[in-house]
Amino acid sequence: MRVLTVCVENWDTLSEIPFILKSAGCTVDILCSKESWLLSNAYYDKWIERKANLHDYLGQLEELSITGLYDWVLLADDVIIKQVNESELPEKLLKLILPISELKHRSILSSKIGLANFCLENAIATPAYLLYNTANDLKNIQSGVRFPVINKIDFSWGGANMFVSNDFEAFQSKLELLPENQNTMIQEYIIGEEVPVEALFYKG
């Protein structure tokens, strides 16, 4: 299998992906900037330098994806997934490269709110939440969710600005840590053992 691994952001966890793919017997090409952590190891076969401009980069990705050279185009960070998902790339191409099998569910990609709504709409048990954007939302949060809660900026990664609040007063005391107008989920927090999951999605 020949895989094209694509990224925008420079995350250190990206360096693990070529090793995983190589260990599975794949041929690995990478499309990224010269500063990317994807280049920090020897577990790839070919590096393709990405275009700096987003529009040009998406065009470059489209050209490479339709060559027929790749069995799997792996979008390796949330930023490129979001950019592709919100782009005007042809639907046929989106079906090929987005990590989801049905485009009607694409709202879950790079969106914590989208995933929570998908679960609620499909009777999948998930904690209730409300949104925080400005101080005007505080009254609704105080009465509308059960504490403790955890806050999650809708489009974010690495636990940025996340914290658990056992009561409303504790939540309110840390508001300076939350950006306004970023659709921050204030979600009921389930106390118990946490089970981290790191997954690669192939054909949804």
Interval 4-20: pLDDT, tens: 999 987 777 778 899 99
Mean pLDDT for all residues in the chain: 92
Domain with residues 2-104, CATH architecture: 3-Layer(aba) Sandwich (3.40)
pLDDT > 80? residue 78: yes
| Total-model pTM | 0.86
d(CA 204, CA 99): 5
Domains 2-104 and 112-188 share a fold: no
Q: Which residue type sits at 146?
A: R
- Above pLDDT 90, what percent of the chain? 77
Show me where the domains of the chain are located. 2-104, 112-188
Residue 150 phi/psi, 5° resolution?
-125, 140
The string of pLDDT tens digits covering residues 64-76 is: 999 999 999 999 9
Contacts of 96 (CB under 8 A, 6+ apart): 65, 73
Q: At 91, is the pLDDT very low, low, confident or very high (cuts 50, 70, 90)?
A: very high
Instruction: For the chain, list the strands marked E by DSSP.
Output: 2-6, 27-32, 46-49, 72-75, 129-132, 149-153, 164-165, 184-188
| Mean pLDDT of the 169-177 span | 94
Tens of pLDDT, residues 27-77: 999 999 998 888 888 999 999 999 999 999 999 999 999 999 999 999 998
- Lowest mean pLDDT segment, chosen from 21-35, 113-127, 145-159: 145-159
112-188 maps to which CATH number?
3.30.1490.20
Q: Tell me: pLDDT of 182 over 80.
A: yes
Confidence at residue 161, expressed as pLDDT on a 0 to 100 scale: 82
How far is CA 74 from its chain centroid? 13
- Lowest mean per-residue pLDDT among 44-53, 84-93, 150-159, 184-193: 150-159
DSSP line for 83-135: HHHTS---HHHHHHHSS-S-GGGGGGTT-HHHHHHHHHHTT-----EEEESSG
Cα distance between residue 23 and residue 73, in whole Å: 17
Lowest mean pLDDT across 10-14, 89-93, 116-120, 121-125: 10-14
What was the pLDDT predicted at 1?
95
**Structure confidence at residue 202 as a pLDDT band (50, 70, 90):** confident
- Residues linked to residue 29 through DSSP beta bridges, in sequence order: 4, 46
